[in-house]
Amino acid sequence: MILVSPVSACDMRERVCRSQEYPVKAVGNRTGAACVAKGQEPPAGYVRYPAGQEPVYLDDEWYRYWQDKVVDEHGAIVPS
């Protein structure tokens, strides 16, 4: 007799933001970030990540990339 257990395709990684939100980066410091409701603009002091470079999961490629970057009010990387 062969027993087959159901396989779950759920992803166990922790998301940066909830599904109805998107991540934003704080201006002027390395680690500041927040989540904003989709359809809303980032609050003062925050900017959107460049398209295609948004962190999705904690410790993913873009999450790690942005950890040591400082951006200005236009989202451009500036010396820290």
Q: What is the pLDDT of residue 12?
A: 86
Domain boundaries of the chain, sorted by first residue: 21-78
CA 59/CA 56 separation, integer angstroms: 9
What is the end-to-end Cα distance of the chain in Å, rounded?
A: 63
**What's the mean pLDDT in 28-57?**
97
For residue range 34-48, what is the model confidence (pLDDT) as tens digits?
999 999 999 999 999
**11 vs 65, higher pLDDT:** 65
pTM given for the model:
0.83
Stretch (H or E) spanning 64: helix 61-66
